[in-house]
A and B are shown apart, each in its own frame.
Chain A
Amino acid sequence: MSAYQVNRLCHRLYHDASFRDAVKADPAKAIADWPLTDDERRALLGGDVKRLYEAGAHPFLLGHTSRWGLFGLTPEVYAERIKGAKDPA
């Protein structure tokens, strides 16, 4: 996965309050129309930030998820899960 769409989605989360609210209410439904790979969708919905980071999601964009506890990611959960993630090539 190139993670470009994941990055775009995280960017939208930060700048678009209505999209953010939709993700808060029903994450799977809110991102259903996004052109993500199955792998990306699974990782996002599962809050697997390590996997997304290693795939190329930029931390400044990915990190927006934990500002509002989206995809189950509180700052504590986020910090714990991203620990040990390898830098993408």
Chain B
Amino acid sequence: MAELVAAVGVPHSPHYPSQFPKDGTDHIPRTYRAVKQHLDAAKADAIVVVANDHFNTFFLNNFPTFAIGVADTASGPNDQTRMPRYDFPVETELASHVLRTGMAAGFDFAVTQDFAVDHAMLVPLHYLTAGIRIPVVPVWINCFLKPLPSARRCHGLGRMLRGAIDSLPKKLRVAVLATGHFSLEIAGPRVEPGSRHGTPDIAWSKHVHGRIRNAEIEDIVTEATPEQMWRAGNVGGELLNWIVMLGAVGSVKPRYLAEHDDEDGHAFAAWSFN
């Protein structure tokens, strides 16, 4: 049987790769490397990546609330992110099993069999793997096109995902990777003067960080209302990616949690199970 061996959560800012080399000494690459150590130690055979598309894989003509990629291979980035181009394998058996398990449990994924992915998946994979040679299962959550799925629903999806991992009849060590911010506004009314972004609710980001530290997952699910996530910025809904991962993890404290950065509404965290 397959098993969950690690879970990690990190931001996915598209300017990182051009600004911070993977082996650089800045805070950002160092913190990615701290998370990577936990991921490496877990010796995962596959990574389920939970992230949100930014109108690069999908568009408004047909925008999925939940989607999964089932193909042999995929590539990216399919946006203008300045970073290496990757072709990477997809763990098709696990992807198909998550799709079927989800359908049986009432989570009706949209399915794509031919796709590329944007910075939300590739920036974290760039920092956390050696060239993305490890097979990936891409899961997309709508985090920024209202109406968003509820936190409760996303938590349930994460629990379903854990059940799918646990029931895959194949020896496979699986990690789950969630990406995104807790507070961030991009190109909306709450950006900083002269800037393309802002952090409208750093107190909320810090609060969520504390909840994660204490494994108060049920509280996060209750508190992450659509109104609260919107107050945190037009991509404040990226917390939903994390909530999916936390649903898979359960109420367990992280083995690693970087100190909250009061300038940036994000977190770096890692769980491992052995």
A58/B55 contact (C-beta < 8 A), A83-B189, A84-B189, A85-B189 known: yes
The answer to whether A53 touches B189, judged by C-beta atoms less than 8 angstroms apart, is yes
- Chain A nearest CB, measured from B111 CB (Å): 22
In the complex, per-residue mask of B44-76: 1 if CB is within 8 Å of any chain A CB, else 0: 000000000011000110000000000000000
Binds A, one of B193-201, B206-214, B215-223: B193-201
Question: Is A33's beta carbon under 8 Å from chain B?
Answer: no
- Chain B nearest CB, measured from A29 CB (Å): 24
- Bound Cα distance A8, B61 (Å): 9
- Bound Cα distance A85, B194 (Å): 16
Of chain B, the residue at the smallest CB distance from A75 is B196
Contacts of B80 in A (CB 8 A): 14, 67
A66/B189 contact (C-beta < 8 A), A58-B145, A61-B55 known: no
In the complex, per-residue mask of B165-189: 1 if CB is within 8 Å of any chain A CB, else 0: 0000000000000000000011111
Name the contact of B188 in the complex, choosing from A14, A53, A76 (C-beta under 8 A).
A53
**Which parts of A33-69 form the interface with B (CB within 8 Å)?**
50, 53, 58-63, 66-67
Of chain A, the residue at the smallest CB distance from B78 is A15
Question: Is B87's beta carbon under 8 Å from chain A?
Answer: no
- Chain A nearest CB, measured from B59 CB (Å): 6
Q: Is the interface of B mostly helix, strand, loop or mixed?
A: loop
The answer to whether B187 touches A66, judged by C-beta atoms less than 8 angstroms apart, is yes
Question: Is B114's beta carbon under 8 Å from chain A?
Answer: no
Chain A interface size, as a band, is: 20 to 34
- Chain B nearest CB, measured from A31 CB (Å): 18
- Bound Cα distance A62, B186 (Å): 10
Question: Is B234's beta carbon under 8 Å from chain A?
Answer: yes
Question: Is A11's beta carbon under 8 Å from chain B?
Answer: yes
- Bound Cα distance A7, B79 (Å): 16
A60/B192 contact (C-beta < 8 A), A7-B60, A66-B187, A78-B187 known: no
- Chain A nearest CB, measured from B148 CB (Å): 13
The answer to whether A59 touches B188, judged by C-beta atoms less than 8 angstroms apart, is yes
- Chain B nearest CB, measured from A17 CB (Å): 10
The answer to whether A60 touches B54, judged by C-beta atoms less than 8 angstroms apart, is yes
Of chain B, the residue at the smallest CB distance from A49 is B187
A63/B189 contact (C-beta < 8 A), A14-B79, A14-B80, A58-B55 known: no
Supply 20 further A-B pairs (C-beta < 8 A) apart from A58-B55, A79-B192: A4-B60, A7-B60, A11-B59, A14-B80, A59-B187, A60-B54, A60-B186, A60-B187, A61-B55, A63-B187, A63-B196, A75-B195, A79-B191, A79-B194, A79-B195, A80-B193, A82-B189, A82-B191, A83-B189, A84-B189
Q: Which B residues have a C-beta under 8 Å from some C-beta of A?
A: 54-55, 59-60, 79-80, 144-145, 185-189, 191-196, 230, 234
Pairs A–B under 8 Å by Cβ, sample size 8: A50-B189, A53-B189, A75-B195, A75-B196, A78-B196, A80-B193, A83-B189, A84-B189
